[in-house]
Amino acid sequence: MALKTDTMILNMGPQHPSTHGVLRLELEIEGELIRNVTPHIGYLHRCFEKHAEAMTYPQIVPYTDRMDYLASMGNNFGYAIAVEKLLGIKVPERVEYIRVIMAELQRIASHLVALGTNGLDIGAFTPFLYLFRDREKILSLFEMTCGARLLYNYIWVGGLSHDIHPDFPRLTKEFINYFRPTITELNNLLTFNKIFIERTANIGILPVDTAINYGVSGPSLRGSGIAFDLRRDDPYSIYDRFDFDIAVGKGIAGTVGDCWDRYYVRVLEMEQSLRIIEQAIDRIPEGDVQSAIPKRIKPPKGTAYARVENPRGELGYFIISNGGVTPFRVKVRGPSFVNLEVLGELCKGHLVADVIAILGSIDIVLGEVDR
């Protein structure tokens, strides 16, 4: 006998322990199955683009930090490359090497938070505490260099704000030797844990064509099986001089493109970042990090679009200059903004508890979604 049924609308409001920030999800459920998910964003809209039209080019750098607050070095990096493209200047070799080392250390720190909170949402409290302990070591390296723990304002247009401390290479090598065994410890604790695999394998499968059509990038795209990484396929700075592999999801625990694959791609990427840092830390040439910083930044009229591989995906800056000291328009393409669109597709047909696992595996930061 067919019954007349109706769907229920459940609100996962802006204040929720597992939504990684202020995100509102409107779930349309039938029993425990999801029929539709509608994200509502804008709860952290801080008007970055309006500020960028009123500040001079160097004054915008601290505001770029605060968009994706877990990967500040990457945000500064992208902005610096875009403005240097407009100005047509080239930075010294020492600056390039230090920028790459900082960006890779930041990638490891950001992935530690992503993996820790992913496990925390599913119910694993211990890896969260262990990974934050390791993250404190990276933050003390950053604090030694530029004085701040979270929002650095370090990579300026044309150079860096401070030179590295003489002890920095030695302490970085000590950190690399310390961190390699902790990745094995993380794998034993969480990655190959039977309960974690049951919760995340075969959940939220993202096919490659859908991913490219929706514009997904970063580890979420590589988890679906395609080896597309901006550091290899559209290289910027000096990434073409280093030897590293691209981590791709292979469906070891379930199907290709499920939540476990996206999680495992991040674990493998941390290992590859260690390789890049090892190759770069011994080859830093001598030089002056502030020699190419222009006294007054007034680019000629034109447009430029530059993109970098942030830990969450492809971060792009589109800058239009009309010849003045402030930009005419700055548009930021945040990877989390684009990655979040695909949540509606991924959640159809799953249970309510799976929404948390899928949201954790896409890894969004609301500062970047709302800018």
Query: Rule CB under 8 A: which of 233-252 touch another protein?
Result: 233-234
What is the identity of the amino acid at 213? N
Phi, psi angles (nearest 5°) of residue 35: -100, -35
Segment (H or E) for 320? strand 313-321
> Which residue among 2, 17, 243, 285 contacts another protein (CB under 8 A)?
17
Residue 185 sits in the site that holds another protein (CB under 8 A): no
Residues ≥6 apart with Cβ < 8 Å to 164: 98, 145
Q: Is 194 exposed, middle or buried (0-12, 13-18, 19+ CB in 10 A)?
A: exposed
Site string for another protein, 127-156 (x = CB under 8 A): -xx--xx-xx------------xxx-----
Closer residue to another protein, CB minimum distance, 86 or 359: 86
- Per-residue exposure over 124-135, b if at least 16 CB sit within 10 Å of its own CB, e if not: beebbebbeebb
Residues ≥6 apart with Cβ < 8 Å to 187: 267
Match 């992913």 to its residue by tokens. Answer: 118
Residue 198 sits in the site that holds another protein (CB under 8 A): no
Q: Is 355 exposed, middle or buried (0-12, 13-18, 19+ CB in 10 A)?
A: buried
Closer residue to another protein, CB minimum distance, 126 or 291: 126
> Which residue among 31, 33, 46, 178 contacts another protein (CB under 8 A)?
46
Stretch that binds another protein, among 40-48, 93-101, 176-184, 191-199 (CB under 8 A): 40-48
Stretch that binds another protein, among 38-46, 157-165, 186-194, 196-204 (CB under 8 A): 38-46
Q: Token digits for 327? A: 């930009």
Tell me how many residues contact another protein (CB under 8 A): 64
Rule CB under 8 A: which residues touch another protein? 13-15, 17, 21-22, 41-47, 49-51, 54, 62-63, 66, 69-70, 85-86, 88, 113, 128-129, 132-133, 135-136, 149-151, 212-215, 228, 233-234, 300-305, 307, 314, 316, 318, 320, 328-329, 331, 333, 337-338, 341, 366-367, 370-371
